[in-house]
């Protein structure tokens, strides 16, 4: 038993001794071998340096704690000569730069690696440093010589087999400046660089040239001279907005002066408010003074936008004139807006043609009015394309029944409509849309059954309580055109006659330079209520025939205006492009035509009573 206890004690001591021994890294034990090293041939061999390295393909079973390159001027180099350790250890490829060499000398080098087994070397190679030559540098043109600064630079195209330690430009008020004068330092090595010259005097002529320094010294590029100026902002004009779609348009600009400084950026900016800036939506259309055209995208139809071109130079940002526009709004003339009623003075502060000098107060209920004039598309659907053919003269029918300058197009206003045609169209459209016709003759609402002989307009009655389509009354048209609230605008959309071409096709402002014609609806800006073409394009019939303004006050539709049947004329509104002067464009201006005459500028706009 005593012998067994001694054996057990010895076993326990043996276990304790074993568990307390320090663990040995298997890569650091005595079985490790030297690493395997491959020397990589030198590259970028210059007069005083070259780049070389190695590849540790096998660490010999122990961690590589150091690796690098050793070199000397005699064969058989080792780490006892000069060594350049790599920045990191371990296996794999590494690279070092050997510098401080003599030009025209041969150097021997090889890669090395250190692990616990010792130092391993790659094969020995050699490289001969070339004789240094002067570098080659070119000077860039001077730009943006504005105020106290200018921009220049250069390109080091050849380092002369010697590292370019410094490069830049130097300048002086005297010719052939050197680095002893004013200079910039713009890095090192080969390649292009840009320099900024500072602390210049305005109106002074300077000389500038690029420089490059290598082991042979400093060389210079060609010399340029420049005179600094007190630059101004650019000047730029904004082009007309063209190529409008429902979601986009084209615009652009013409830079008439760069202000004496290079244009570094240009484009157009736009917003739904006036005076847009580059902080709003913008395009970027390069640099330089050339004209440009930009595509404006992401628009919403029926929305008014403001656009202007911009140009940037060293002084700042300049903007061109503002161009308001709206994307093309597709409408056949049937879509309507609700106008909130109110009390206003009909004919206030305006020129009245064929209507007498008086004004009168009118109270209107809410009503609907169409966003655009009735188009050829809607007219053809309801009336057929041959409806007017028998009523026009041969001279009026070179293009079917549509005469130049109107143009045959679905979204052009329907022309040649007389007052009778308008009344008939309204009832036919009402019947087609399942609404109650507003007009009747001797109690009959079907126009095909009306007796249209003699002065039959005397028998036409309007039921203002029906929900069908009708012509707007004169006060309804005027209130909507003027913006739907007092004070009404002088012209539909604006109080400024110089802005009128923004809101309508008017004389002298038509596509292609034409002076008369009807064009696609809704290509101009809408007025405050969102109504298009209430000035320019076609004239529009209203319900009333010719009458003298009565004075006093009236409430619609309880006390609708009466008229004079004697003249057989009806009133038109809208200031057609076929005009006799500025007064035709007033929101309040009337003009008249015989109710059965067909004139090419005559069209119509729909209205409806807001039936509760």
Last residue of a domain, one of 174, 201, 227: 227
If asked whether residues 120 and 178 sit together in one domain, one would say: no
Residue 117: inside a domain, yes or no?
A: yes
Residue 565: inside a domain, yes or no?
A: yes
Pairwise CA distance, residues 254 & 285, whole Å: 12
Round to the nearest angstrom and report the end-to-end CA distance of the chain: 120
Contact 376, 600 (CB under 8 A): no
Geometric angle at alpha carbon 574, from 572 and 575, rounded to 5° = 100
Pairwise CA distance, residues 71 & 126, whole Å: 9
Residue 411: inside a domain, yes or no?
A: no
If asked whether residues 512 and 553 sit together in one domain, one would say: yes
If asked whether residues 141 and 282 sit together in one domain, one would say: no
If asked whether residues 320 and 375 sit together in one domain, one would say: no
If asked whether residues 153 and 73 sit together in one domain, one would say: no
If asked whether residues 464 and 557 sit together in one domain, one would say: yes
If asked whether residues 210 and 89 sit together in one domain, one would say: no
Residue 23: inside a domain, yes or no?
A: no
Element (H, E) at 18: helix 2-19
- Tally the domains of the chain: 4
Pairwise CA distance, residues 232 & 258, whole Å: 8
Strand-pair category, 149-158 with 191-197: antiparallel
| Full-model pTM | 0.64
Q: Can you give the residue range of the structural domain that contains 318?
A: 235-325
DSSP 413: B
Residue 431: inside a domain, yes or no?
A: yes
If asked whether residues 482 and 565 sit together in one domain, one would say: yes
DSSP codes, 289-348: S--EEEEE-S--TT--EEEEEEEE-SS-EEE---EEE-------S--EEEE--EEEEETT
Residue 187: inside a domain, yes or no?
A: yes
Residue 398 is predicted with a pLDDT of 63
If asked whether residues 372 and 454 sit together in one domain, one would say: yes
Neighbours of 156 (CB within 10 A): 26
Helices 376-383, 419-432: axis angle to 10 degrees equals 70
If asked whether residues 503 and 597 sit together in one domain, one would say: yes
Residue 1: inside a domain, yes or no?
A: no
If asked whether residues 363 and 468 sit together in one domain, one would say: yes
Pairwise CA distance, residues 339 & 530, whole Å: 10
Strand-pair category, 125-128 with 106-115: antiparallel
Q: What CATH number has the domain bearing residue 463?
A: 3.90.1580.10
Contact residues for 527 (Cβ-Cβ < 8 A; gap 6+): 481, 483, 489, 492, 493, 503, 534
- Residue 422, classed as helix, strand or coil, is helix
Last residue of a domain, one of 199, 227, 255: 227
Q: What CATH number has the domain bearing residue 68?
A: 2.60.40.10
Contact 416, 599 (CB under 8 A): yes
Pairwise CA distance, residues 110 & 41, whole Å: 9
Residue 578 is predicted with a pLDDT of 62
Contact residues for 46 (Cβ-Cβ < 8 A; gap 6+): 129, 130, 132, 159, 161, 162, 163
Pairwise CA distance, residues 298 & 551, whole Å: 50
Report, as ranges of residue numbers, the positions in the chain whose pLDDT lies below 50.
Answer: 1-28, 352-356, 509
154 beta partners: 139, 193
Q: How many residues does the chain have?
A: 612
Pairwise CA distance, residues 461 & 481, whole Å: 25
The owner of tokens 């058989």 is: 76
592 beta partners: 571
What would the two tokens of residue 335 be?
A: 């879509």
If asked whether residues 318 and 460 sit together in one domain, one would say: no
Give the Å distances, CA to CA, from 213 to 133, 140, 209. 11, 17, 13
**Sheet containing 36-43: order of strands:** 36-43, 49-58, 92-99
Give the tens place of pLDDT for each residue, 397-443: 766 665 555 667 788 899 899 999 999 999 999 999 999 999 999 99
Last residue of a domain, one of 325, 344, 374: 325
DSSP codes, 496-547: -GGGGGGTS--TT--GGG-SS----TT-S---TTS---SSSSSEEEEEEES-
Pairwise CA distance, residues 159 & 134, whole Å: 7
Residue 15: inside a domain, yes or no?
A: no
């Amino acid at each position: 038993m005593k012998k067994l206890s001694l054996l057990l004690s010895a076993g326990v001591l043996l276990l304790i001794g074993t568990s307390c021994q320090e663990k040995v890294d298997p890569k650091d034990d005595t079985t490790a071998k030297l690493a395997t090293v491959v020397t990589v041939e030198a590259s970028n061999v210059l007069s005083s340096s070259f780049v070389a390295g190695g590849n540790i393909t096998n660490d010999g079973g122990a961690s590589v704690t150091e690796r690098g390159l050793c070199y000397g001027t005699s064969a058989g180099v080792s780490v006892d000569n000069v060594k350049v350790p790599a920045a990191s250890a371990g296996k794999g490829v590494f690279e070092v730069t050997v510098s401080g060499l003599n030009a025209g000398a041969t150097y021997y080098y090889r890669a090395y690696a250190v692990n616990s087994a010792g130092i391993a070397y790659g094969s020995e190679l050699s490289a001969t440093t070339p004789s240094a030559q002067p570098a080659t540098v070119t000077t860039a043109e001077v730009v943006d010589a504005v105020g106290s600064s200018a921009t220049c630079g250069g390109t080091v195209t050849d380092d002369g087999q010697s590292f370019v330690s410094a490069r830049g430009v130097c300048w002086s008020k005297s010719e052939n400046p050197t680095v002893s004068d004013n200079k910039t330092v713009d890095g090192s090595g080969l390649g292009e660089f840009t320099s900024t010259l500072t602390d210049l005097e305005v109106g002074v002529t300077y000389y500038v040239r690029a420089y490059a320094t290598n082991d042979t010294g400093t060389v210079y590029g060609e010399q340029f001279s420049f005179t600094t100026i007190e630059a101004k902002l650019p000047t730029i004009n904004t082009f007309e907005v063209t190529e409008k779609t429902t979601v986009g348009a084209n615009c652009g600009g013409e830079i008439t002066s760069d202000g004496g400084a290079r244009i570094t950026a240009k484009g157009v900016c736009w917003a739904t408010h006036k005076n847009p800036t580059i902080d709003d939506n913008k395009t970027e259309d390069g640099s330089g003074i050339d004209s440009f055209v930009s595509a404006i995208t992401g628009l919403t139809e029926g929305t008014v936008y403001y656009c202007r071109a911009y140009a940037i130079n060293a002084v700042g940002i300049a903007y061109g004139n503002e161009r308001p526009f709206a994307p093309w709004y597709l409408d056949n003339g049937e879509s309507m807006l609700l106008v909130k009623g109110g009390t206003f003075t009909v004919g206030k502060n305006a020129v009245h043609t064929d209507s007498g000098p008086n004004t009168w107060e009118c109270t209107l209920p809410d009503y609907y009015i169409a966003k655009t004039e009735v188009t050829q598309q809607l007219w053809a659907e309801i009336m057929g394309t041959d409806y007017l053919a028998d009523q026009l003269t041969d001279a009026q029918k070179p293009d079917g029944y549509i005469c130049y300058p109107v143009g045959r197009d679905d979204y052009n206003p329907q022309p040649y409509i007389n007052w009778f045609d308008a009344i008939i169209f309204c009832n036919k459209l009402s019947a087609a849309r399942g609404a109650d016709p507003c007009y009747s003759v001797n109690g009959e609402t079907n126009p095909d059954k009306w007796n249209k002989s003699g002065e039959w307009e005397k028998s036409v009655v309007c039921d203002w309580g029906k929900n069908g389509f009708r012509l707007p009354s004169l006060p309804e048209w005027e209130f909507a055109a003027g913006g739907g609230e007092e004070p009404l605008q002088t012209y539909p959309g604006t109080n400024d006659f110089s802005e009128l071409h923004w809101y309508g096709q008017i004389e002298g402002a038509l596509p292609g330079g034409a002076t008369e014609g009807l064009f696609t609806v809704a290509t101009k800006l809408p007025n405050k209520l969102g109504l298009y073409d209430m000035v320019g394009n076609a004239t529009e019939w209203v319900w009333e025939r010719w009458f003298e303004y009565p004075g006093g006050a009236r409430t619609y539709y309880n006390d609708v205006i009466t008229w004079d049947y004697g003249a057989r004329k009806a009133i038109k509104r809208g200031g057609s492009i076929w005009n006799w002067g500025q007064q035709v464009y007033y929101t309040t201006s009337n003009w008249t035509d015989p109710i059965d005459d067909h004139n090419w500028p005559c069209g119509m706009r729909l209205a409806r009573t807001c039936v509760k």
